[in-house]
Structure 1
Amino acid sequence: MTSHSAPADASASPALPELTIRRATADDIPEIVGMLADDPLGAQRETPGDLTPYRTAFARLDGDPHQHLVVAVQQGRTVGTLHLTVIPGLSRRGAARALIEAVRIHADARGTGLGTRLIEWAIAESRRQDCVLVQLTSDATRVDAHRFYERLGFEASHLGFKMAL
């Protein structure tokens, strides 16, 4: 994945600084983990004080061509992150699908359109990767996030199940 700027948003104010969405590096781990931990759910499951497990996970992700962990940078500052996974499959005539996870915007940058721009990047990258659909999951308690995804064209189409191991 090459570093590039997100496409201009026609509805965005011309005063918005340029946004660059690029592949995350190991140096981005503290900022990413900080954003993951900066909400009630993340605060229960993330440990920003101990980055060891995140560095191990990052090495696994970085070596897998189907994993696209990105950061959004504005004026030299990391303001968002997103994890896109391309999943090869047999169903749908051997089609690939994309899974969006861990979408986070820095607390002081929320409500500025950055989340929309990150999701638009993920959809465009999914198309570039020849995926036939893009899907995401969102915790049942994140009602505002559900409205956000629906505004972007996502439909609540499946019931999900998880099992902690």
Structure 2
Amino acid sequence: MLRLKLLLPLLFIGMACLAQTEKPVYDAALAQKLGADQYGMKKYVMAFLKEGPTKITDAKAGQELQMAHLRNIMKLAAEGKLVVAGPFMDDQPIRGIFIFNVESIEEAQKLTATDPAIKAGTLVMELHPFYCTAALMQVNAIHNSIEKKSVAD
């Protein structure tokens, strides 16, 4: 009886582990929609947003520029050109990241040129080719369904 009491929980734990390792069914239509290669990956360009040479000391002007920067992020995301954007939470020279849904540095440079903070010189972007899961293409849709309040309001 003692063996059965010990064996039963181990059996359930083993079944749970096996259930978690089952590979989901491949969805060719979704892979194609997201631009995935055979590995479920795709090319992007990652941007590190760094402190620029321009410092804005006027608080109101700084806030207005930040809001314009956020509205540009939202515009690029709505166009499907920006899949991830966010600040780092520490006070370091690298302020945040963008992941652009483009295949070349040149395409990303054109998009970064639309950012008001880049135009003002408060930020500069360091761009790198990036290879990652095509599932990132789903992030904005998921975000929109869980966003209660916009950061640009």
**Structure richer in helix, relative to its length:** 2
TM-score scaled by structure 1? 0.25
Q: State the structure with more CA Rg.
A: 2
Q: Choose between structure 1 and 2 for higher RCO, CA contacts under 8 A separated by at least 6 residues.
A: 2
